[in-house]
Structure 1
Amino acid sequence: MRNAARRATERRYLMCPPTHFKVTYSINPWMDPAKPVDLPLALAQWEDLRDRYRDLGHTVEELEPHRELPDMVFAANGATVVEGRVLGARFAHSERTAEAAAHRAWFRANGYEDVYEPEHINEGEGDFAVTASWLLAGRGFRSSPLSHPEAQEFFGRPVIGLDLVDPRYYHLDTALCVLDDSTDTEVMYYPPAFSKGSQAVLARLFPDAIIAEEPDAAALGLNAVSDGRHVLLPQAAVGLFGPLRERGYEPIGMDLSELLKGGGSVKCCTQELR
Structure 2
Amino acid sequence: MINTVLLCPPKYYQIEYEINPWMHVENKVDPERTHEEFDNLKNIYKKIGLDVWIMDPEPGLPDMVYTANCGFVIDNLFIKANFRYQQRRKESDFAEKLFRQKKFKIATLPSNVYFEGQGDLFFRDGKFFAAYGRRTSKKAIGHLENILGEKIITFMVKKDPYFFHLDTCFAPLGKGKVIIHPASFSNDDIDKIKKNFRKVITVSKKDNPFFCCNIVATDDAVIVGKGMSKDIKRTLEKEGLKVFETPMNEYFKGGGSVKCTTLEFFRSNS
Is 1:171 the counterpart of 2:165? The answer is yes
Q: Which residue pairs with 1:33 in the alignment?
A: 25
Is 1:75 the counterpart of 2:70? The answer is no
Q: How does 1:82-97 map to 2 (within 5 A)?
A: 82-97=74-89
Q: Which residue pairs with 2:114 in the alignment?
A: 121
Contact 1:175 1:217 in 2 (8 A): no
Q: Which residue pairs with 2:55 in the alignment?
A: 63
Q: Which residue pairs with 1:50 in the alignment?
A: 42
Corresponding residue to 1:209 among 200, 213, 218: 200
Letter in 1 for 2:169: A
How many aligned residue pairs are there? Answer: 262
Residue 150 of structure 1, CA deviation: 0.8
Contact 2:177 2:198 in 1 (8 A): no
Distance 2:48 2:124 in 1: 21
Q: Which residue pairs with 2:12 in the alignment?
A: 20
Letter in 2 for 1:125: Q
Letter in 1 for 2:205: E
Corresponding residue to 1:268 among 255, 260, 265: 260
Instruction: Point out where structure 1 has 5 or more consecutive residues left out of the alignment.
Output: 1-8
Distance 2:154 2:107 in 1: 21
Corresponding residue to 1:188 among 156, 172, 179: 179
String of CA shifts for 1:8-61, please: whole Å, max 9, x gaps. Answer: x66101110111000011101110111111011111101110111011111000
Q: Which residue pairs with 1:234 in the alignment?
A: 225
Instruction: Point out where structure 2 has 5 or more consecutive residues left out of the alignment.
Output: none
Distance 2:7 2:131 in 1: 22
Residue 132 of structure 1, CA deviation: 2.4
Distance 2:49 2:94 in 1: 27
Residue 215 of structure 1, CA deviation: 1.5
String of CA shifts for 1:235-255, please: whole Å, max 9, x gaps. Answer: 101232111011111111110
Distance 1:158 1:73 in 2: 30
String of CA shifts for 1:157-212, please: whole Å, max 9, x gaps. Answer: 221111111111100000011111xx4x2211111011222122112222421112
Return the TM-score normalized by structure 1: 0.92
Distance 2:45 2:198 in 1: 30
Residue 83 of structure 1, CA deviation: 2.2
Distance 2:239 2:125 in 1: 19
Contact 1:133 1:157 in 2 (8 A): no
Corresponding residue to 2:152 among 145, 153, 159: 159
Letter in 1 for 2:18: S
Distance 1:153 1:101 in 2: 22
Letter in 1 for 2:161: P
Distance 1:214 1:270 in 2: 24
Contact 2:116 2:136 in 1 (8 A): yes
Q: Which residue pairs with 2:240 in the alignment?
A: 248
String of CA shifts for 1:245-266, please: whole Å, max 9, x gaps. Answer: 1111111111010011000100
Q: Which residue pairs with 1:137 in the alignment?
A: 130
